Amino acid sequence: MYKLKTNRAAAKRFKFTKNGKIKRGHAFKRHILEKKSPKMKLQSRGMVVINDSDYNRVEKLLPYGG
């Protein structure tokens, strides 16, 4: 069987935890930040684990763990 290619765009957006879960960054944090509340900007820091319903879709893009 041939090697599978990693989707490079996905590799830059997702990271794996030690236990094999996939983390993602928050959306709406790049620009037009003046009108967004401080609470929203504060809560958008860091990364969160992706939803179970999205796991299979993202995992296909990263066959070897990113």
Domains along the chain with CATH numbers: 8-56 (4.10.410)
pLDDT confidence of residue 35: 97
Q: Which residue has the tokens 């957006």?
A: 13
Backbone angles phi, psi at 43, to 5 degrees: -75, -15
**pTM for the predicted model, two decimal places:** 0.83
At 22-54, the pLDDT tens digits run 999 999 999 999 999 999 999 999 999 999 999
User: How many CB atoms sit inside 10 A of residue 13's CB?
Assistant: 16
Residue-level pLDDT at 37: 97
- Over the chain, what is the mean pLDDT? 94
Asked whether the beta carbons of 66 and 12 are under 8 A apart, the reply is no
The residue assigned the tokens 């090697």 is 3
